[in-house]
Amino acid sequence: MSVIILVEYVSCYVPFVNVYLKLLTLMMQVMGDVSFRNGRLIISITTLA
């Protein structure tokens, strides 16, 4: 029973997770470009990740 509930719960949030991952990868690309100029961003990214 719990597995079915978990699958339904996950399937409801798949679109949201998809959008979130796209935004996350975009942010990582932007931060990666900036991090070459600012070393502190690398530290903040690693602590958040």
Q: Could you read off the pLDDT of 17-29 as tens digits, one per residue?
A: 888 889 888 888 8
Residue 1: is its pLDDT beyond 80? no
Structure-model confidence comparison of residues 26 and 49, the more confident one:
26
pLDDT at 45: 64
Collapsed DSSP state (helix, strand, coil) of residue 37 = coil
In one letter, which amino acid is 28? M
Indicate the helix (H) or strand (E) that contains 40: helix 39-48
Question: For the chain, what are the domain ranges?
Answer: 15-48
Question: Other C-beta atoms within 10 Å of 41: how many?
Answer: 16
Which pLDDT band, with edges at 50, 70 and 90, does 39 fall under?
A: low
pTM, rounded to two decimals: 0.41
Residue 40 near residue 31 (C-beta atoms within 8 A): no
Residue 44: is its pLDDT beyond 70? no
CA distances (Å), origin 15, targets 2, 11, 18, 26: 22, 8, 5, 17
